[in-house]
């Protein structure tokens, strides 16, 4: 077979440039940005995550091809090992599928197979057709000296690729774990802040101008909500969480008592400020006709020892009111006895029952 010396020299120069060790090291190092790219795409749109099974193989193959400049089959093996290591790391970190996605197994296997084929095909260089005869003469008829060099021997390249890929990808997974923990923590904190802001946005303005626009019923509901941290529904027994502020609850009650002369507001505010000025408000509420203020004053007679008069007053109040909660309170006091009632009576409990 006639082969020109010029062709032999050109092919031999290419064979001498083969460097399997450089390809193995480069593949292990470049696996890091490829895994990071996979993670970044996963965060941007997790639908692209399965495609990286194929794309990563092509990128690894090009890396081995560029740094190794090799024609031997071992360069394809280096590319496959590195690509498989990247895929395994992605699976370990949960990047192979997007959250909530359902991709059939044969599709994943097919994408991985495409990646392997791309890694093998792109990892090895090809001799131009015009130089085939020279390549056959140098490599097929006898083993070329470049294949005997230590940097191109498979028993060195395979373990180097496996060990380096494991080290670099293991370190990358450790770093990405830290990034993911930080990202999730930041996301949770952001959600907490947003929830707090949305929660705080429920609170109404307690300025006189704004309270003047509310009906007395709604104002009492918001006073209850501010005091207990629960906003009662207008109908039914449903409640929802509400920003809590005793000051704002008293501010609303004070507005209703002073600006509208609301007897119930005076009674509740009296209970909440008892005994510092509260007794006067309760007396005013009773004078204005609030049934619960009257029950409270009548109960005081029983607490101070005048049980007969207190009983008569409560019975009279029971005959003059149609409010079921008031009747229940009267009958509960009469049934329990004044001694027990006076021990268990507390302003917050009473206010919780009768704020709305």
Higher pLDDT, 121 or 144: 121
Quick check: 230 pLDDT over 80?
Answer: yes
Higher pLDDT, 43 or 141: 43
73 alpha carbon, distance to own chain's centre: 48
Map tokens 């370190």 to a residue: 171
Map tokens 């002073």 to a residue: 258
Whether the Cβ atoms of residue 95 and residue 42 lie closer than 8 Å to each other: yes
Burial of 226 (0-12, 13-18, 19+ CB in 10 A): buried
Predicted pLDDT at 138: 58
Q: Residues 291, 297, 300, 302: is their CA dihedral positive or negative? A: negative
Task: Give the least confident one: 203-207, 303-307, 308-312.
Answer: 303-307
Predicted pLDDT at 8: 63
Residue 228: pLDDT band (50, 70, 90) is confident
Burial of 201 (0-12, 13-18, 19+ CB in 10 A): exposed
Mean pLDDT computed over every residue of the chain: 84
Q: Rounded distance, CA 298 to CA 311, Å?
A: 8
Q: Best-predicted range by mean pLDDT among 151-165, 304-318, 322-336?
A: 151-165
Predicted pLDDT at 347: 44
Predicted pLDDT at 255: 93
Alpha-carbon distance values, 160 to 2, 73, 82, 167 (Å): 40, 16, 11, 11
Q: Rounded distance, CA 190 to CA 280, Å?
A: 48
Task: Give the least confident one: 16-20, 68-72, 139-143.
Answer: 139-143
Read out DSSP for 233-299? Answer: PSSSS-EEE----HHHHHHHHHHHHHHS--HHHHHHHHHHTTTTTHHHHHHHHHHTT-HHHHHHHHH
Read out DSSP for 2-40? Answer: ---HHHHHHHHHHHHT--HHHHHHHHHHHHHHHHHHHHH
Q: Which of 152, 29, 42 is nearest to 85 (CA)?
A: 29
Bridge partners of residue 151, in order along the sequence: none
Q: What is the number of alpha carbons within 13 Å of residue 218 lying toward its C-beta?
A: 10
What value does the mean pLDDT take over residues 305-326?
85
Quick check: 45 pLDDT over 90?
Answer: no
Whether the Cβ atoms of residue 73 and residue 79 lie closer than 8 Å to each other: no
Higher pLDDT, 346 or 236: 236
Q: What is the DSSP letter of 51?
A: G
Quick check: 341 pLDDT over 80?
Answer: no
Alpha-carbon distance values, 331 to 338, 350, 351 (Å): 12, 15, 18
Q: Rounded distance, CA 257 to CA 255, Å?
A: 5
Predicted pLDDT at 57: 95
Q: What is the DSSP letter of 231?
A: E
């Amino acid at each position: 077979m006639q082969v020109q010396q010029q062709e032999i020299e050109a092919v031999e120069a290419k064979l001498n440039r083969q460097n399997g060790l450089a390809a193995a090291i480069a593949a292990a190092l470049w696996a890091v940005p490829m895994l990071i790219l996979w993670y970044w795409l996963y965060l941007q749109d997790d639908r692209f995550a399965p495609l990286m099974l194929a794309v990563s193989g092509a990128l690894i193959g090009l890396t081995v091809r560029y740094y190794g400049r090799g024609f031997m089959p071992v360069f394809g093996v280096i590319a496959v090992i590195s690509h498989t290591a990247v895929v395994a790391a992605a699976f370990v970190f949960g990047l192979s599928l997007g959250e909530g996605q359902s991709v059939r197994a044969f599709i994943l296997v097919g994408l991985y197979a495409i990646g392997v084929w791309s890694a093998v095909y792109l990892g090895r260089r090809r001799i131009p057709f015009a130089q085939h005869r020279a390549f056959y003469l140098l490599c097929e008829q006898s083993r070329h000296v470049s294949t005997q060099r230590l940097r191109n021997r498979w028993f060195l390249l395979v373990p180097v690729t496996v060990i380096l890929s494991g080290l670099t990808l293991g370190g990358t997974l450790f770093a990405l774990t830290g990034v993911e923990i930080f990202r999730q923590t930041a996301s949770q904190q952001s959600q907490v802040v947003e929830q707090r802001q949305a929660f705080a946005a429920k609170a109404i303005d307690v300025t006189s101008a704004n309270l003047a626009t509310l009906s007395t019923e709604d104002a009492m509901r918001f006073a209850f909500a501010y005091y207990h941290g629960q906003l009662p529904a207008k109908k039914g027994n449903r409640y929802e969480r509400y920003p809590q502020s005793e000051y704002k609850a008293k501010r609303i009650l004070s507005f209703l008592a002073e600006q509208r002369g609301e007897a119930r507001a005076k009674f509740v505010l009296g209970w909440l400020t008892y005994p510092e000025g509260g007794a006067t408000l309760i007396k005013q509420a009773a004078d204005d006709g609030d049934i619960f203020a009257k029950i409270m004053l009548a109960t005081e007679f029983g607490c101070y020892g005048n049980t007969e008069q207190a009983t008569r007053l409560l019975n009279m109040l029971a005959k003059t009111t149609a409010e079921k909660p008031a009747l229940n309170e009267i009958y509960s006091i009469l049934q329990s006895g004044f001694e027990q009632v006076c021990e268990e009576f507390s302003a917050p409990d009473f206010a919780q029952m009768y704020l709305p």
